[in-house]
Amino acid sequence: MYTSYFGIEESPFSITPDPRFLYMSQQHQEALGYLLYGVSESGGFVLLTGEVGAGKTTVCRCLLEQLPEHVDAALILNPRLTAYELVATLCDELGIDYPQSSQSLKVLYDVLNRYLLEAHGAGRRTVLIIDESQNLSPDALEQVRLLTNLETNKHKLLQIILIGQPELRDMLDRPDLRQLSQRVTARFHLPPLTEQETLAYIAHRLSVVGLDRAVFSLSSRRRVYQHSGGVPRLINTICDRALLGAYAEDRISTDRRIIDKAAEEVTGKRLQGSSRVLLISLILVLVAGIGGFTYSRVANVPVAQDEIGPGDTPRQPPLAVGKPGEAVTVEPAPAVDSPPAAAETPALGDEVLAPGLPQLSTAVPSAEPQAGVDKVDSTPQPEPDQTDEEPPLAADGESLITAEALNPVDELIQESPVGNLVGALNDLFALWGMAYAQLDGSSPCMRAAAAQLECLQGKASLQKLRTIDRPAIIELAGNGGNVHFVVLVGLEETTAQVQVGERIFKVPLDGLARVYTGDYLSLWHPPVSGVSYLQPGMRGNGVRWLRESLSRVRNWVETTEDAGYFDNGLYDQLRAFQSDQGLDVDGIAGPMTFISLNSLVNDTSVPRLRRSEK
C-alpha cells in the first residue's frame, strides 16, 4: 500500500526469507559456521536453537545456497510427523523410490541405506536438515537417532542438523532422550541482534529497495530496537507497520510516536488508544483517495515538540514537482528566524540511495518552462543600486553577484523563478556534463540512472552538505509561501555560491540558512555501475574498488589472494574508515562511504563544492 508513496517497488520489511535482504550479523555468521562444520564433518548431530524470529530459517537458507557441489541436502520444514512419515519424507526429499503400498519402516531403511552407500561410494555426502525440530514427537526423535546408525566401518552415512526454538534444548535434556543428546557434537544458540546490529539491519534493508535511510532516523531505529529486543522478525513487522503509519499521516519519515504506535499494533498492547488514531488516519486517506479528493504530499503535518526524539527530523515541505502544464503549489513554510538546529538534521551518513525519491512526484517535470511556474513573485522588491560597472565574474566566466549587492539573499530570491525545479535540474545535471532534457526516464532519478548516476536526497544542514561535498539542489522559502529551487555550487567559511541558470550568487552563509528549508537533492557516481552498497560476503568488481580505495586512503597493506571477496579483513578496515570519517559504523559501504572515498582519492571526474577562501 505504501510502496508507491515512497517510490519503491517492494516492501523492505517483508518477513519472507528473501536472500537479497540477508543481513549477516556476527552471531549469524557464527551460526552459519557451525552449520557448515556440520556439513563437512562426519559424526553426530549439530544443534542450532534461537527464539522465534531470530533468523534461524534465514541462516538455514543461506547454508543451502553455500553447500559444496558434492553435498546432497534434504530439508524437512514440517516435522509434525509420525516415525514412518519422517523417514518417508526423507526419501522423498532425496528422490528415493520406495513401495508406496508398504507401511514398513524396514522397507524404507533398506532403500535409504542402499542409496546412502551408493552416494558415499561416489564421493558424495548427504545431510538431513530438520527445521522447527521442537515439534518432533518423542517417537520421531528416536527415529532421528536411529538414522545415525546408518554407517560404514569408518563413516556415518547421514549427517543431521536440528534447528529449533529453545524448547528443543529442554527436550534433549530429558532422561529418556539422553542417547540422542549425547550424540550432539556442536551446539549454537542464536541470540537477538544487538542495538548496533539492529540499526545496521534496518539501514541495510532500506538500502536494498533504494529507500533513503533518513526515513528511519537514528533515534527511530533505536526505538525499534527497544520495542523488538533485536528479534529480526519483530523488527520487520514494526518497521513495516511504521512505514504504513507514515503513509497514513502523509509523512516522509517516521518518528518516536509512529514507532510506538506501530509496536503497539504488532504486540497487541494498548490497541484502544493511540494506535486507533493511526488506523483512523489510514482510513481517512483511503476514503479521500476513493472519493476523488487530492491532497498535497507536501502538506505540513504538525508534530508536537515533545514527540520529536533525538535525531528525529520535524517535517518540512519537501521538494515538489507539479504535473506538466500546472503550477507548483506549496503550502506556506513557517518563518525561520535562525539557522536550523543540529538536532533537525539526520546524523552523518544517514542518507542512502533513494531512486524513488519519495519527496518528489513520480512525474518527470517537462524540460520546457511550465505555464505559471517560471513567473517571478510579483511582490514589489527594492530596486538595486544602478551602476555602470560590469558584475564581477567567477573563475569559469559566469557572472558573480557578490555580497556587496543590496541584500544578497533577497536578490537571490527575487532572481530565481518560483518553483522552477526543471531549471535547477538542468543546472545540476550540466555540472556532471549531462543534458537533463535528453535523458530517458519517468523521474529525475531514473534520468540520473540513465547517465550512470544515483540520487542522494533528504534533510541536511548546510554543514552536512559541506561534508557531502557535491553540488546540490536546495529548496528556499520565498515570499508568500513560494518555494525556489537553486543549485548550491560552493561553500566557504562564511559565504555560499548558488547557481541560478548562468548566474552565480555569492551570499552570506547565515542569510542562506534562514531561507533554506533543509530539503536537498544531489547526485553521486557509483564506483561500479548498479552497485549502491557493499556488505560482507559479497563478491565482484565493486569489492575490488572498495579494497583498493581503502588501501590508498588508510595505507593498508592487504594480504588476501581473493581481492574481489568482502572478507573480515575488509570489514574491519571499512568500520575503521567509517569511524574516522564520522559515518555510521555499520561495516556496510553505502552512498556516504562511496562519496567520502571518492573525495579522498581525488577523483577529478566528480564535481565538488567550490572553495576559494584561504
Q: What domains are defined for the chain? A: 26-190 (3.40.50.300), 347-524 (3.90.70.10), 526-614 (1.10.101.10)
For residue 213, give the DSSP letter: G
What is the distance between the alpha carbons of residues 107 and 88, in angstroms, rounded to a whole number? Answer: 10
Predicted pLDDT at 298: 32
Could you report the per-residue pLDDT of 126-183, keeping only the tens digit for each? 989 999 888 888 888 888 888 888 888 778 888 888 998 888 888 888 888 888 887 8
The per-residue pLDDT for 258 is 92
Measured between alpha carbons, how far is 22 from 15 in angstroms, rounded to an integer?
11
CA distance 411 to 444: 28
Q: How many CB atoms lie within 10 A of CB 164?
A: 22
Q: CA–CA distance from 149 to each of 44, 157, 158, 531 (Å)?
A: 10, 8, 9, 49
Nearest to 118 by CA among 66, 67, 63, 72: 72
Q: How far apart are the first and last CA of the chain?
A: 52
pLDDT at 391 over 60: no
Task: Kindly state the cell numbers that stand for 354.
Answer: 533513494
pLDDT per residue as tens digits for the range 407-423: 788 888 888 888 788 89
Average predicted confidence (pLDDT) for the chain = 75
Number of neighbours of residue 468 by Cβ within 10 angstroms? 22
More confident residue, 272 or 251: 251
Model pLDDT, residue 209 = 85
Report pLDDT for 424.
92
Q: For residue 530, what pLDDT is reported?
A: 67
Give the integer Cα–Cα distance in Å for 467 and 577.
15
Indicate the DSSP class of residue 369. Answer: P
Binned at pLDDT 50, 70 and 90, residue 383 comes out as very low
Q: What does DSSP say about strands 495-500 and 483-491: parallel, antiparallel, or unpaired?
A: antiparallel
pLDDT at 536: 83
Q: In what order do the strands lie in the sheet with 516-524?
A: 399-401, 503-508, 495-500, 483-491, 472-477, 516-524, 454-459
Q: How far apart, in whole angstroms, are the C-alpha atoms of residue 213 and residue 205?
A: 9
Reported residue count of the chain is 614
For the ranges 39-53, 61-75, 242-256, which has the lowest average pLDDT? Answer: 39-53
Q: In which band, very low, low, confident or very high, does the pLDDT at 612 lie, cut at 50, 70 and 90?
A: low
pLDDT tens digit sequence for 255-303? 889 999 999 988 876 544 444 444 444 444 444 444 433 333 333 333 3
533505536: which residue's cell? 222
pLDDT at residue 308 is higher than 60? no
Whole-structure pTM value: 0.46
Q: What is the DSSP letter of 497?
A: E
CA distances from 189 to 93, 168, 472 (A): 27, 11, 48
Query: What is the grid cell recorded at 92?
Result: 522423498
224, 259 contact by CB (below 8 A): yes
pLDDT at 263: 92
Mean pLDDT in residue range 444-465: 85
Q: Write out the H or E segment, with its range, that includes residue 473.
A: strand 472-477
